[in-house]
Structure 1
């Protein structure tokens, strides 16, 4: 599989043959989706091929009130004119070699583009297509592989990644690029310092030492990069570095959460010596002014934590792990960094998930912990056979008490995704593979569930719906499932699904 420079020009006959193959693949996909949905809802022709004269959607997908072009995007999704699901996009390959592995960090969407990180390339595809490598509407080739990304996107559809300074996977991860998702234009890029574990100086690793893993995030008008020895902040428009903080002593900046505010996670060692053991590490969370880097408050975690992640920067919510596996508590902080409420997850009833990708530091990538409306929403564990089920529960951030509970019902599972306006977006995934899955809206005030999109997933694409191994993106009336990596088949040749997009059958692609 190649994602390098554009291939040589094809002859007309080859282009025609490729077009016919794509049409056959698209028809096969639509047929598979149709079989799933028709069997479930008894309606023929739900996933027919899209025509050019579809009506525009009635959904109003404007950014949230008060959101500007330099703010982090908070799109409010609305119920589409029809809840019938249709293929909005597919990206797949059939030339991966057995045992081949390609990293695919980062998935972003706009009203027209699905963008994907692919090794050292950023690629944009037009939605409404059945795409393969070579069908990109834009490609941005970086100097080296992507080594960090953020799920955050600005109001004008821009985001950032960090990447290595050469094709060598062992080269330094020390560059940040800010780029436009609509046209692939790189707005600016900069080199930032690196540090070794336990070294607060901005020096490169030597003698085989390991570089601290950098992270990148976005907040108002600011791109922030943590690099171990400190944090650098850049102006979104000019790319000018606006401030830098450097650590001293035994603490390091290891990850940042963006959005409406900027939180920096620090890892510290009580004895002043770096160690890979969680028993010697303590965590702090620092809120800083994104315009100046000035500290507003610091929260110090208790000793004995194995992990600390940041599902939300505003309101600030901290997920901590004091056990061997999984998060044991969610902590709601106030405007001084003190704990407002503690939400215990140790009973085993509730599950809090954050990204556990080893190679990328994204401390605010908690896809099934949704925060907003004065609450945090998590899912319960699965009930298991004979009719699997679970529920989503809300907790009040001020008191820690439970609020509304949303039941999945038998043979389906509910996963919270994100707050959208005054409602919670969630996935209702079919567990019996007969009834359709759905993107739904949950109203915390009334307990009402509103379906947005009913859809089916072909069996050979089912792995894309595993939430801890894939990106789930809801944007402008479309739902995307995207792989973190592409792996070749065990042997021979096979189609590999990388991205599947679902949209309303009335949505203009």
Structure 2
């Protein structure tokens, strides 16, 4: 997601922040494979016009997001208009001839040809306006109710989101005002940098939690609490084996669920099953309890888990052996993995305000995936919704309101999902949103039920970053954050532009506002912004240093798998997987702060 330097400037070395040759498309500069799902970028097809590019009269192309948008800059001759939206009528601009006749140059255009081009643009704009008008009305000709419906709950949200509908005429989004405010000075400084710990093999370090006093991060067979401002060690909790799963939910009571291996890995196999489930007190740095389960379906061996989450006072763990749940405070078993006569078992769970299971029925050759809201106390299904036949994996993006991502027909592209399913509290489909191919930069790791990144839910909408595309600068990509209405499945008028040479993606909801991160160009630091959920106006909360060494530490992570946590004027970026060895200087985590 970085951009290359101007011509004749020597390249900079080290880290993912180093500029590369201009990419042919896709998701910007390539990043080091992280082993986490769909991190590898996929180049865009060549020779095709970008999204929203005007077509010849008589064959207009419908804009991707269904509404017109004032372009921040009118493109010159030979350039594409702003991505995804038709621009407002303006006189065509023509660049002076340049050497070689490339973009911005070439032969001058005759008066007759200018008239023809202007007429073609006018036709496209008229058609675009008609598309916009049609997209804001339902099949009965009534106005879209995206901004009127206030029937959704307004619960607070963690990553993945939750909440109600976007309010109309209230001056704020449906989920209410946010807590994050811009400081007097948004320029940050490096708070601390945690070096990668020594290791002998591929090491899972997923999990990042922020408390009032600490930033907590797993290492090798341990979890450590660091001073939130200085990075000094507050406590270290040794574990018998490597951590292998951790809850993505940000706890309100400083209790977080983890899964870990029972013993130390030994060469040459370096493998242990992920059998132990426990809860850590993040304030005290103590393991409150840990347990394992004996399988009731595969003999006397311990049940293995590969993901874990929590909802209220319930810890739910999932894996190939089925799902299980425990009491958060005592560790008492609430249910064990079972397989019924229909060969149905829970693959995993999405937590947060509600608990949602993804259940697989049938054999390997003909699986049927079912979405179930479950009672967290005993696992009893509250409702069931069958996903389309042939879907093998699904992810819970948000548990309340319920949004599920799935790959239908193997058309997902690099994102891991092709469609989003919005369900009501009775399990009835509200809307299906198509995200086929590589239109968006959001990612869902298909092997886990709760592992989607760069996508959040709030205000009755789902917010997605568009794929990277050419910006106004010759050397720099950009993109936008857009949204879809969960009640209708239609695109809304929301659009936040990353700005020239920046690309952005959402991190979490803050009330009705969206907290987003802007990946920096080669000569600047990253930014954290708050996007007003009602007006979509951006407020900069943090701008990181542009120094080369600092920028390289900030961009030394894969944005598809790294953990970004922003709270109390501080941004923490943490790794989730460390290879046996690293090329260049890498970090377990880095932190930036605008706080004194």
Q: Please say if 1:150 is aligned against 2:247.
A: yes
Alignment of 1:159-170 (within 5 A): 159-168=256-265, 169-170=270-271
Aligned partners of 1:164 and 1:258: how far apart in 2? 22
Q: Quote the residue 2:203 is aligned against.
A: 102
Alignment of 1:50-65 (within 5 A): none
Task: After TM superposition, give the deviation of residue 419 of structure 1 in Å.
Answer: 1.0
Q: Please say if 1:414 is aligned against 2:519.
A: no
Q: TM-score, normalised by structure 2?
A: 0.63
> Is the CA contact 1:423–1:444 (under 8 Å) kept in the aligned structure 2?
yes
Q: Please say if 1:443 is aligned against 2:546.
A: no
**Over the residues paired in the alignment, what is the CA RMSD in angstroms?**
3.0
Q: Quote the residue 1:34 is aligned against.
A: none
Q: Name the one with the larger strand percent.
A: 1
Aligned partners of 2:592 and 2:582: how far apart in 1? 28
User: Structure 1 pair 490/453, CA: closer, same or farther in 2 (3 Å)?
Assistant: closer
Post-superposition CA distance 1:101-141 (Å, at most 9, x none) = 433121222122111112321111112335xxxx5321112
Task: After TM superposition, give the deviation of residue 388 of structure 1 in Å.
Answer: 1.0
Q: Please say if 1:349 is aligned against 2:444.
A: no
Alignment of 1:82-481 (within 5 A): 82=184, 83-93=186-196, 96=198, 101-129=202-230, 136-168=233-265, 169-194=270-295, 200-201=297-298, 203-204=300-301, 213-244=305-336, 246-248=338-340, 249-269=342-362, 272=363, 275=364, 280-322=366-408, 323-324=410-411, 325=413, 326=415, 327-346=417-436, 348-355=438-445, 361=448, 363-384=449-470, 386=474, 387-403=476-492, 404-431=494-521, 433-456=522-545, 458-481=550-573
User: Structure 1 pair 459/409, CA: closer, same or farther in 2 (3 Å)?
Assistant: closer
> Is the CA contact 1:92–1:498 (under 8 Å) kept in the aligned structure 2?
yes
> Is the CA contact 1:194–1:227 (under 8 Å) kept in the aligned structure 2?
no
Q: Quote the residue 2:591 is aligned against.
A: 501
Task: After TM superposition, give the deviation of residue 76 of structure 1 in Å.
Answer: 5.4
> Is the CA contact 1:333–1:341 (under 8 Å) kept in the aligned structure 2?
yes
User: Structure 1 pair 498/73, CA: closer, same or farther in 2 (3 Å)?
Assistant: farther
Aligned partners of 1:436 and 1:460: how far apart in 2? 9
Post-superposition CA distance 1:366-401 (Å, at most 9, x none) = 121101110000111111373311111111100011
Aligned partner of residue 578 in structure 2, secondary structure: strand
Gaps of 5+ in 1: 1-63, 206-210
Aligned partners of 1:202 and 1:236: how far apart in 2? 27
Gaps of 5+ in 2: 1-152, 164-176
Task: After TM superposition, give the deviation of residue 180 of structure 1 in Å.
Answer: 1.2
> Is the CA contact 1:73–1:152 (under 8 Å) kept in the aligned structure 2?
no
Q: TM-score, normalised by structure 1?
A: 0.74
Aligned partner of residue 280 in structure 1, secondary structure: coil
Post-superposition CA distance 1:222-273 (Å, at most 9, x none) = 111234444332222222223446231322211110000001112333xx3x
> Is the CA contact 1:352–1:379 (under 8 Å) kept in the aligned structure 2?
yes
Q: Which protein shows a greater Rg?
A: 2
Q: Please say if 1:81 is aligned against 2:167.
A: no
